[in-house]
Structure 1
Amino acid sequence: MAKPLYKIVFHNHGKVYELYARRVAASAIWGFTEVGELVFDVHDGVVVDPTEERLRDEFGNTRVLHLPMQSIVRVEEVEKKGQSAIRDAESGEKVVTPFPLPAKPR
């Protein structure tokens, strides 16, 4: 039997993060939830999701996240991994770093 997969949605610095993990449990630290074994997409091709790369840069070396209970919006057990995201907490729109464009010649 495969390990369960969880989608964790939580608030962090005015943004809403959506991450996937294999383990969610009560933390040994009172008032926190432990999230471990984070799951990221592995891309071998040319197409790269900038949000996924940003999340991997921020959390790639993280063994366990200890999230304050009040920051967690939802934890779902899902069948398969969807797209991880960072959204603006006010508007709900995805926070995307714009692709750098060359400067206009003068």
Structure 2
Amino acid sequence: MSEKHIYKVVFVNQEQVYEVYVGNVYQGDWYGFVVIEDFIFGEKSTIVVDPTEEKLRHEFAGVDRCFIPMHRVVRIDQVKKRGTAKIVALGKDGAERCDKVAPLYSPDKK
């Protein structure tokens, strides 16, 4: 019987670093895109324990697969168990900073 893998995918989206847990990651048919699917979130309860994870749950609600530009992916790890999905501000002015992530050149920046 094959073992079910869990992947932690870290990527940059709109000046924020997203960390999500998914069941499948692969190179898509569209050149330059990584596909993530089968999003894994914590059990839904009546008490919201982590508002960031709840925000991600709503953002990806109804999404079967997500196509991420390859140059926006920071890291993909195969992990033994799911952690907490989160969003961290990338900018210097953000309340939370992610100093270990440097954005690549993007043609829309001047």
Bin the TM-score by the shorter chain. 0.7 to 0.9
> CA offset at residue 44 of structure 1?
2.4
- Aligned residue for 1:38? 39
Query: In structure 1, what is the Cα distance between the partners aligned to 2:88 and 2:48?
Result: 21
Counterparts of 1:18-33 in structure 2, within 5 Å, are: 18-33=19-34
Structure 1 length-normalised TM: 0.82
Query: In structure 2, what is the Cα distance between the partners aligned to 1:20 and 1:32?
Result: 18
- Aligned residue for 1:100? none
Query: In structure 2, what is the Cα distance between the partners aligned to 1:65 and 1:4?
Result: 18
Task: Report the AA paired with residue 89 of structure 1.
Answer: L
Higher alpha-carbon Rg: 1
Counterparts of 1:1-106 in structure 2, within 5 Å, are: 1-91=2-92, 93=96
SS of the aligned residue for 2:30 comes to coil
What do the CA deviations read for 1:62-94 (whole angstroms, capped 9, x no partner)? 100010000000000001011111001135827
What do the CA deviations read for 1:45-69 (whole angstroms, capped 9, x no partner)? 5242101110011002110001000
Task: Report the AA paired with residue 50 of structure 2.
Answer: D
Query: In structure 1, what is the Cα distance between the partners aligned to 2:16 and 2:67?
Result: 17
Q: Name the count of aligned residue pairs.
A: 94
Structure 2 length-normalised TM: 0.79
Structure 2: segments with no counterpart, 5+ residues: 98-110
Which aligned runs of 4 or more in structure 1 are off by greater than 6 angstroms?
A: none
Query: In structure 1, what is the Cα distance between the partners aligned to 2:8 and 2:24?
Result: 10
- How well do the aligned residues superpose, as a CA RMSD in angstroms? 1.6
Task: Report the AA paired with residue 39 of structure 2.
Answer: L
SS of the aligned residue for 1:44 comes to coil
